[in-house]
A and B are shown apart, each in its own frame.
Chain A
């Protein structure tokens, strides 16, 4: 009823003297949904956190990459991650608790689409539960070098470097 009244009020205002103004900045999507940005953050997470196999190949667990890139885009989650990694008991209702964090990054469907795209581009290559560099894997290095040279994505790189100090366990990836 109240919603109906509000719409009615708006309609009356528009009919009488209100002049609608469109602000493009309010319509523009956040760059967090931009493909280039997502690819850059995933590449940086891979460059910083991937491990070397005995064959000399760099690879990373898919779930770990998903969690790392999720936090890298949201540096404010770092204290919560730290608390979670330290296994301190937190209320599941609190913002930044392990369950809410897990729900957040597991629901990040854009990540899945971007990784699929990067696999299709040949930047990444799936290897079971891992992701390794594909034939266009040089993209990862070029992003890392350019961002260091140009001082770009400093926050994301700082967050990823901080995450290096935390022990991200399988239990955490499973939300336990």
Chain B
């Protein structure tokens, strides 16, 4: 775990160099200063140095969220309206194993896409300085990316997450920061209010919480579930596409079959496995392509022999009559099919109309049911206006139905509707098949008419017979080509179906993973209950605290209601503070991946009354005083309260002066020097020598020597 050791902002103005610095120690650190002192500037410097500014809704590397003071103009007591020429900020981080980091990033006047990193080793005087980029792909860039470096330095594993677009992404520092960095304005509006949404990462809030709790198995399981869901959607889409093609092929040939892709992946797979396309054609449409092709081959051979070698009887007059009869039969067949198709169309339109009527009746019946249950407009007591006797509807041959009767009728209507819908779908499929049959007959008729024309144009019986035999041979060959083409198409579709079934098997075989998330969630719940009582949420009492629970998405509930919706408006900030502290506390107990510090900017802003301040005090001086992580609170407290806190051993930084940033007296640094001329190592000054430095009793300041420059850190003022 790490902690913040200092926060510094410095730069040059038209009136000389300026700097502000806060030294931070272990445990609870309260920074108390008047409004507009620059507390938020210091808080925002932390986010800027971590390169997580996107959580404020600004583009990466955009310093627009900083107050104007540090970007444009500063008012010093000794010089108002000083134009800011350049500025930068630094934070110090100290690992529990003794390693340290100083992160420095330019705000204006330098390259904002770069973070200067100064690494300090365990109890060694050596340091390593590097400049890392925090622009695009800062996590993926293994040599120069800041996030890649920082995750490695922290010992945090990189974690794959999925996006709404279906591609892979990663968990970034800006996804974790909203859980331990609560910004003054938006940060108090909801849990993880600053979570970055524009990366389109799926379930990122839950994943961020699980990561901080160290539940990496659960994240892997969650991501695998998401992948499974996405793969199922892709597989379903593929099934629909295959089914459409199969049905299209069946319909074109007029085969009244349906290859359905309705239902779940498992049900589709079960159905598709029952028979192959060839088997289905044989069993339900009586179509055996192999036999058909073989028969056509035999016929073609016979026709070819008849055309080329068989004798011709000059007295045979049957050719003309035969081809004519064939054309007539085909025309009759086409007529019959058209009549059937028209009947089907009428049936379909009636089924659709009936379905719409059933929809209307279901709607009316549902309304009547509501009318019965709500009693809207019901007359309680009805009596005859003349004889004042109770009126019984049965006197008028009328009846009232009970809710049960209407429910039963609704059920019947819904069954009817399902039946009608299924009927309409079947009719629709039959229509498509019928249209296909008509197309097939049309083709045959066209060929028959062509043969008839050729035969009728032939002179003499011999030519008539030859023409007919040639036309028959040609038709048989075309038919064989078509049959072979369909067989090939069906074989191709069957290959795709088999491939789909294999993918479905692989997907369905993924089992549920066993993780320890229940234990981790329970610990977080326990910590949340503790802190929420400490900070005094008005809706949570000793009587109902056992009903406090976290749901699957780590949303706190009290009984069946979301805690967010309970209590007074000011309880919202207490819930968020308690949740942030609970995540840090639970992570520490579970050996999780929480960085080890929580920063709360103005937790009392929403409720500055005595009662709420008193609640915060009592919690700070009791349970919170012994927390195992660093808690940095930016707020304003009266002197009496500061004294109370200090008496309880809490470090309170209470600077004087109007602003955090102050002009440096050193004339050696000219106004034209940019922030790049300021060595962050030099910024690590001893307490006594650092200008405008606020040092608390528990601060633990680190000094480093710069290996590259050879100059000892902290010896000289910047």
Q: Is the CB of B377 within 8 A of A35?
A: no
Q: For the complex of A and B, list the 6 residue pairs with the smallest distance between their C-beta atoms, beginning with the closest.
A: A25-B412, A146-B376, A28-B409, A143-B377, A31-B368, A28-B408
Contacts of B411 in A (CB 8 A): 25
Contacts of A74 in B (CB 8 A): 360
User: Which stretch, B219-227, B396-404, B446-454, touches the partner chain A?
Assistant: B396-404
Complexed CA–CA distance, A136 and B401 (Å): 23
Counting CB contacts under 8 A, is B607 at the interface? no
Give B383 Cβ to nearest chain A Cβ, in Å. Answer: 8
Chain A contact residues, CB within 8 Å of chain B: 23-38, 40, 43, 73-76, 110, 113-114, 116-117, 120-123, 135-136, 139, 142-143, 146-147, 150, 152-156
Complexed CA–CA distance, A123 and B377 (Å): 12
Q: Which B361-416 residues have a C-beta within 8 angstroms of A?
A: 361, 363-365, 367-372, 374, 376-379, 382, 384-385, 391, 393, 396-401, 405-406, 408-412, 415
Listed by A's residue number, 15 A-B pairs whose Cβ atoms lie within 8 Å are: A27-B408, A29-B405, A30-B409, A31-B365, A32-B364, A43-B377, A75-B360, A76-B360, A113-B397, A117-B396, A117-B398, A121-B379, A122-B385, A150-B370, A155-B363
Q: Is the CB of B408 within 8 A of A113?
A: no
Select A34's contact among B361, B370, B376, B406, beta carbons within 8 Å.
B406
Select B400's contact among A34, A75, A154, beta carbons within 8 Å.
A34
Complexed CA–CA distance, A154 and B361 (Å): 12
Q: Is the CB of B382 within 8 A of A121?
A: yes
Give A26 Cβ to nearest chain B Cβ, in Å. Answer: 6
Q: Is the CB of A30 within 8 A of B408?
A: no
Select A113's contact among B374, B396, B400, beta carbons within 8 Å.
B396
Contacts of A25 in B (CB 8 A): 408-412, 415
Complexed CA–CA distance, A14 and B411 (Å): 27
Give B317 Cβ to nearest chain A Cβ, in Å. Answer: 51
Counting CB contacts under 8 A, is B353 at the interface? yes
Q: Is the CB of A34 within 8 A of B382?
A: no
Q: Is the CB of B399 within 8 A of A142?
A: no
Q: Is the CB of B401 within 8 A of A117?
A: no
Using CB atoms, name the residue of chain A closest to B391: A120
Q: Is the CB of A114 within 8 A of B377?
A: no
Give A102 Cβ to nearest chain B Cβ, in Å. Answer: 20
Complexed CA–CA distance, A49 and B219 (Å): 62
Contacts of A114 in B (CB 8 A): 396, 398
Using CB atoms, name the residue of chain B closest to A76: B357
Where chain B touches its partner, the secondary structure class is: helix
Contacts of B382 in A (CB 8 A): 120-121
Using CB atoms, name the residue of chain A closest to B353: A76
Q: Is the CB of B396 within 8 A of A34?
A: no
Q: Is the CB of A135 within 8 A of B377?
A: no
Give A111 Cβ to nearest chain B Cβ, in Å. Answer: 11
> 13 new A-B pairs (CB below 8 Å) besides A40-B377, A113-B396?
A24-B408, A28-B401, A29-B399, A29-B405, A32-B361, A33-B399, A36-B378, A76-B356, A76-B357, A117-B396, A117-B398, A147-B367, A150-B370
Q: Is the CB of B409 within 8 A of A29?
A: yes
Contacts of B371 in A (CB 8 A): 36-37, 40, 152
Contacts of B415 in A (CB 8 A): 25
Complexed CA–CA distance, A121 and B377 (Å): 13
Q: Which B341-371 residues have a C-beta within 8 angstroms of A?
A: 353, 356-357, 360-361, 363-365, 367-371
Give B296 Cβ to nearest chain A Cβ, in Å. Answer: 47
Contacts of A43 in B (CB 8 A): 377
Give A120 Cβ to nearest chain B Cβ, in Å. Answer: 6
**Could you say which of A25, A27, A142, A147 has the most chain B C-beta atoms within 10 Å of its C-beta?**
A25
Select B391's contact among A23, A73, A117, A146, beta carbons within 8 Å.
A117
We find that the number of chain B residues with CB closer than 8 angstroms to chain A is 38
Q: Is the CB of A28 within 8 A of B397?
A: no
Using CB atoms, name the residue of chain B closest to A115: B396
1/0 contact string of B662-674 vs chain A (CB within 8 Å): 0000000000000
Q: Which B605-662 residues have a C-beta within 8 angstroms of A?
A: none
Q: Is the CB of A30 within 8 A of B398?
A: no
Q: Is the CB of A139 within 8 A of B376?
A: no
Give A1 Cβ to nearest chain B Cβ, in Å. Answer: 29
Contacts of A27 in B (CB 8 A): 408
Give B580 Cβ to nearest chain A Cβ, in Å. Answer: 42
Q: Is the CB of A136 within 8 A of B379?
A: yes
Contacts of B370 in A (CB 8 A): 150, 152
Give B46 Cβ to nearest chain A Cβ, in Å. Answer: 51
Complexed CA–CA distance, A120 and B378 (Å): 15
Contacts of B368 in A (CB 8 A): 31, 34, 36-37, 40
Contacts of B400 in A (CB 8 A): 34-36
Give A21 Cβ to nearest chain B Cβ, in Å. Answer: 14
Select B401's contact among A26, A29, A153, beta carbons within 8 Å.
A29
Complexed CA–CA distance, A116 and B408 (Å): 29
Q: Is the CB of B377 within 8 A of A142?
A: yes
Q: Which B442-496 residues have a C-beta within 8 angstroms of A?
A: none
Q: Is the CB of A35 within 8 A of B405?
A: no
Complexed CA–CA distance, A143 and B367 (Å): 12
Complexed CA–CA distance, A7 and B357 (Å): 33
Using CB atoms, name the residue of chain B closest to A38: B398
Complexed CA–CA distance, A135 and B353 (Å): 42
Contacts of B385 in A (CB 8 A): 120, 122, 135
Contacts of A28 in B (CB 8 A): 401, 405-406, 408-409, 412
Select B372's contact among A36, A123, A135, A155, beta carbons within 8 Å.
A36
Complexed CA–CA distance, A34 and B384 (Å): 21
Q: Which B291-309 residues have a C-beta within 8 angstroms of A?
A: none
Using CB atoms, name the residue of chain B closest to A121: B382
Complexed CA–CA distance, A34 and B335 (Å): 49
Q: Is the CB of B396 within 8 A of A116?
A: yes
Complexed CA–CA distance, A73 and B357 (Å): 11
Give A70 Cβ to nearest chain B Cβ, in Å. Answer: 14
Q: Is the CB of B376 within 8 A of A147?
A: yes
Q: Is the CB of A121 within 8 A of B408?
A: no
Select B412's contact among A23, A142, A147, A153, beta carbons within 8 Å.
A23
Contacts of A146 in B (CB 8 A): 374, 376-377
Complexed CA–CA distance, A163 and B398 (Å): 27
Give B165 Cβ to nearest chain A Cβ, in Å. Answer: 37
Contacts of A154 in B (CB 8 A): 363, 367
Given contacts A117-B391, A152-B370, A153-B364, contact A139 B408 (CB under 8 A): no
Complexed CA–CA distance, A74 and B406 (Å): 18
Using CB atoms, name the residue of chain B closest to A43: B377
**Could you say which of A38, A135, A152, A154 has the most chain B C-beta atoms within 10 Å of its C-beta?**
A152
Q: Is the CB of A30 within 8 A of B396?
A: no
Give B416 Cβ to nearest chain A Cβ, in Å. Answer: 9
Complexed CA–CA distance, A23 and B391 (Å): 33
Q: Is the CB of A30 within 8 A of B399?
A: no
Using CB atoms, name the residue of chain A closest to B401: A34
Q: Is the CB of B412 within 8 A of A155?
A: no
Contacts of A116 in B (CB 8 A): 396
Complexed CA–CA distance, A36 and B412 (Å): 20
Contacts of A113 in B (CB 8 A): 396-398
Contacts of A110 in B (CB 8 A): 398
Complexed CA–CA distance, A147 and B368 (Å): 11
Give B412 Cβ to nearest chain A Cβ, in Å. Answer: 3
Q: Is the CB of A139 within 8 A of B396?
A: no
Complexed CA–CA distance, A32 and B32 (Å): 73
